Structure 1
Amino acid sequence: MSPTGPRVVSLVPSVTETLVAWGRPPVACTRFCEQPGIPHVGGTKRPRIAAIVEMAPDLVVMCDEENRIEDHDALRAAGLEVHVASPRTVADVPEVLAALAAAVGVEVSPPPPAPPPTPPGQPRVAFVPIWARPWMTLNADTYGASVLAAAGWSSAWADDPVRYPEVTVEEVRARGVDAVLAPTEPWAFTVDDLPGLAGTFGARAVLVDGQDLFWWGARTEGAVRRLVRALA
């Protein structure tokens, strides 16, 4: 352990962003973490296990939503300490951040104890295409859906038993959604896609920040506020 704290490898973009915001950047991260100044050790699904082991970090941070159990097990088998940070809802974030801060030896001000209040009224229903070939969306048991709920929206597939179900254009049209909320990731939708999405699904299309919708951590509180403004 260095004098400034444990040497951490982060395999979770949300964690990397949060550690940087706390002034405790990891010694390595994934190429999806958008931190060109920090060495990369592969992707979230295909990390370079041998390279991580060779670095001999004090801690590796993973998430069951983004990383694979076989990589977790391989790192543990190599004798590395692994901390799992996996919030399912906006309300889970304060506790997860407190545990992460303790694991990396950082003192941070506790985040707000509750998510921002949901706007009044009946939640509007959205189709959120997280993938386009095939079309995929999200149910209520996902972090992204909890961010939507905090902003006064719900997924048209909230009650689906599959967390990320495949859907068809005909199914989306049949549900009569209020809007198509096209995130900038994981599928990289842009403003140029909005007219086509609106025509395909028969509803207005709005571009939303995919990181605000799916990344949690230091950005969570502001992300909900930004989403409310974007969808007003």
Structure 2
Amino acid sequence: MKKQLLWLLMPLFFAPLQALSAERIVTLSPHLTEWVYSLAAQDRLVGVSAFSDYPAQAAELPVIADYQGVDFTALMALEPDLVLAWGGGNKPQDIARLKSLGLEVYISQPQTLDDIGTELLEVAALTGQTDIGQTLVTGYRHELEQIKQQYQHLAPVKVFYYMWSQPLMTIGKGAWANKILASCGAESVFIDSPIDYPEVSVKQVLLRQPELLIAASDQSVETLEHFWTPHRSVIKAPLVTADANALHRFTLRITQAIDTLCQRIDSYRQ
């Protein structure tokens, strides 16, 4: 009788454990905060990083990390069961310490536009939002493919892409923004730079004669144009702006920002 009972109970002992979704989540980067909202899991978000400003309600949550690092006292007081960290932005020693404390840590580090979809699906699984994640990623990848199909066969445009003018900093081959430009059939005139984010002089820009100036800035074109006015006798390239917040934050909003930038580039394509 005991043996029979044991055989009846064994499936319960050895059945696969059901994955439990996180109930208390903290995010250490603005893009990860936005992912949680995209996945409709914000009711379980208990702490965020500085600059988690999209959507607006994210700014109301406790800030437990900034450029100086993680506030471990504040983080531990929130008793999270899942920490979403950014491998490219959070300090390695902070990530190592989080793991040593026994916390479940997911590290995001997208290298390509498609990686955004892949990682979002992984976070969806951790938060029990797989169905929502799949729907979002399917739409995201479809939008990327549409952009690619529209611009990949067009004549390439040589552009000078910069984030700010003091100092004047642009992008080299490995920079994230070059992946965006490639989607639009454009390329940085400093693609040959040995570093990803080189500081350059105005003279260097003038010598390379880009076809288009792209400022990743929320300032108006009129304001940005003041910087180039003294050099307009030498460089005739038009100036357009790019949505830096959306383009440099690895979220689903990036497709709309890329499409808008591509249209602006295309309007000046020769």
Normalised to the residue count of structure 1, the TM-score between the two structures is 0.86
2:40 is equivalent to residue 32 of structure 1: no
2:184 is equivalent to residue 151 of structure 1: yes
Q: Deviations over 1:27-46 (max 9, x none)?
A: 21122111322221232453
Match of 1:191 among 211, 221, 224: 221
Please identify, of 44-53 and 167-176, the stretch whose mean Cα deviation from structure 2 is larger: 44-53
Q: Deviations over 1:117-153 (max 9, x none)?
A: 1513222122222243322222232322211211222
Q: Is the 8 A contact 2:22 2:81 kept in 1?
A: no
CA distance in 2 between partners of 1:153 and 1:196 (Å): 25
Alignment correspondent of 2:86:
63
Kindly provide the amino acid, as one letter, of the partner of residue 241 in structure 2.
L
Normalised to the residue count of structure 2, the TM-score between the two structures is 0.75
Alignment correspondent of 1:229:
263
Superposed displacement of residue 192, structure 1: 4.2
CA distance in 2 between partners of 1:192 and 1:59 (Å): 45
Cα distance 1:157–1:105, how it changes in 2: closer, same or farther (>3 A)? farther
Alignment correspondent of 2:112:
89
Alignment correspondent of 1:46:
69
Structure having the larger proportion of residues in helix: 2
Q: Deviations over 1:70-108 (max 9, x none)?
A: 221222233222111111121322212212212222122
Q: Secondary structure at the match of 1:117?
A: helix
Kindly provide the amino acid, as one letter, of the partner of residue 229 in structure 1.
Q
CA distance in 2 between partners of 1:46 and 1:156 (Å): 35
Superposed displacement of residue 210, structure 1: 0.5
Task: Give the ranges of 4+ consecutive aligned residues of structure 1 lying more than 4 Å apart after TM superposition.
Answer: none
CA distance in 1 between partners of 2:190 and 2:34 (Å): 29
CA distance in 1 between partners of 2:154 and 2:68 (Å): 39
Match of 2:158 among 125, 131, 134: 125
CA distance in 1 between partners of 2:165 and 2:73 (Å): 34
CA distance in 2 between partners of 1:200 and 1:11 (Å): 42
Q: Is the 8 A contact 1:89 1:147 kept in 2?
A: no
Equivalent residues, number: 227
Q: Secondary structure at the match of 1:170?
A: helix
Percent identity over the alignment is 25
Q: CA RMSD in A?
A: 2.3
Cα distance 1:146–1:81, how it changes in 2: closer, same or farther (>3 A)? same
Kindly provide the amino acid, as one letter, of the partner of residue 104 in structure 2.
E
Q: Deviations over 1:163-197 (max 9, x none)?
A: 2112111111111111221112xxx6443432123
Q: Secondary structure at the match of 1:158?
A: coil
Alignment correspondent of 1:160:
193
CA distance in 1 between partners of 2:228 and 2:165 (Å): 14
CA distance in 2 between partners of 1:19 and 1:152 (Å): 32
2:97 is equivalent to residue 78 of structure 1: no
Q: Is the 8 A contact 1:195 1:205 kept in 2?
A: yes
CA distance in 2 between partners of 1:197 and 1:178 (Å): 17
2:175 is equivalent to residue 142 of structure 1: yes
Q: Is the 8 A contact 2:164 2:215 kept in 1?
A: no
Q: Which 5+ residue runs of structure 1 have no aligned equivalent? A: none
Alignment correspondent of 2:243:
209
